[in-house]
Amino acid sequence: MNDELPPEVAARAAKHAALGDAARLRIVDLLTLGDLSPTEIRLALGFGSNLVAHHLNVLESVGMIARTTSEADRRRSYIHLMGDALDGLVPSAAVRASKVVFVCTANSARSQLAAALWSARSDIPAASAGTLPAERIAPGAVAVAARHGLVLENARPRALGEVLTGSDFVITVCDNAHERPGVSANLHWSIPDPVRVGTDAAFEAAYAELDHRITDVAPRLVAS
């Protein structure tokens, strides 16, 4: 009987079946906010490695998640929720924040773009900072922002100590920053570094990924 169903209906049914397990539903809830390593998922759920691996394999088999290799430590991976994973489903998570701070290494591209995009999507104030600030914002970041009608602040990249307060909601958008000792983030988005590649396409890809993430998360943060 299932063979007679349209492919899109069968695919939706497979996703519902995958989410019928409470642990997998919890994993997806966590991934709607940011990328996580398998170890971080294991600690969040309190499960063993083998059980977490099983649940991730099930979610991957129905196309809900993808795995990416860390740019900082190639032995490490992050689990990323696919853009269409929750079609027809509404995540219920909501978080309070007085200010959102986006963090990358150089504060020259990804975090700058994220702060500008956030300001266009949310009334909650946004800022950006870097663990090792560069001397200037990357020209490619300025250019891609301009192509999409955004203007990056005409200011030098700033260090974390210049920006962070104890009440900030921190989102790392760089694997190196997220894995740096002493950096504590509320969420992590594993965005490839466009400066490392240097092409317009790389900056456009980073912009598109940030735009997708912010469009999804911004309505779920409530001003405090």
Q: Residues 152-206: pLDDT tens digits?
A: 867 789 999 999 998 999 999 999 999 999 999 999 999 999 999 999 999 999 9
Is residue 107 located within the same domain as residue 41?
no
Boundary residue ending a domain (39, 54, 81): 81
29 is a domain residue:
yes
Is residue 175 located within the same domain as residue 127?
yes
Distance CA 57, CA 51 (A): 10
10 is a domain residue:
yes
Angle subtended by helix axes 22-31 and 38-45, to nearest 10 = 120
Asked whether 38 and 56 are in contact (CB, 8 A), the reply is yes
Structure-token pair, residue 176 = 């190196």
pLDDT band of residue 88 (cuts 50, 70, 90) is low
Query: What is the DSSP annotation of the chain?
Result: -GGGS-HHHHHHHHHHHHTTSHHHHHHHHHHTT--B-HHHHHHHHT--HHHHHHHHHHHHHTTSEEEEE-SS-TT-EEEEE-TTTTTT------EEES-EEEEESSSSSHHHHHHHHHHHH-SS-EEEEESS--SS--HHHHHHHHHTT----SS---BHHHH--TT-EEEE--HHHHHSTT---SEE-----HHHH-SHHHHHHHHHHHHHHHHHHGGGEEE-
Boundary residue ending a domain (81, 107, 129): 81
The domain of 132 spans 95-223
pLDDT band of residue 123 (cuts 50, 70, 90) is very high
111 is a domain residue:
yes
Distance CA 71, CA 195 (A): 13
Query: What is the count of structural domains for the chain?
Result: 2
Asked whether 12 and 22 are in contact (CB, 8 A), the reply is no
Is residue 164 located within the same domain as residue 53?
no
Q: What CATH number did the domain enclosing 43 receive?
A: 1.10.10.10
Distance CA 30, CA 44 (A): 9
Is residue 111 located within the same domain as residue 6?
no
* CA distance to 22, 187, 213, per residue, from 86 (Å): 16, 19, 13
90 is a domain residue:
no
Is residue 35 located within the same domain as residue 105?
no
89 is a domain residue:
no
Model confidence over 26-66: pLDDT tens digits? 999 999 999 999 999 999 999 999 999 999 999 999 999 99
Is residue 169 located within the same domain as residue 58?
no
Q: What CATH number did the domain enclosing 186 receive?
A: 3.40.50.2300
Is residue 60 located within the same domain as residue 28?
yes
198 is a domain residue:
yes
Is residue 123 located within the same domain as residue 164?
yes
Asked whether 187 and 172 are in contact (CB, 8 A), the reply is yes
Distance CA 138, CA 200 (A): 12
Boundary residue ending a domain (23, 54, 81): 81
Distance CA 134, CA 10 (A): 49
87 is a domain residue:
no
Q: What is the mean pLDDT of residues 109-133?
A: 96
Is residue 169 located within the same domain as residue 209?
yes
59 is a domain residue:
yes
pTM (predicted TM-score):
0.79
Is residue 107 located within the same domain as residue 201?
yes
pLDDT band of residue 1 (cuts 50, 70, 90) is very low
Is residue 19 located within the same domain as residue 67?
yes
Is residue 68 located within the same domain as residue 140?
no
Asked whether 171 and 100 are in contact (CB, 8 A), the reply is yes
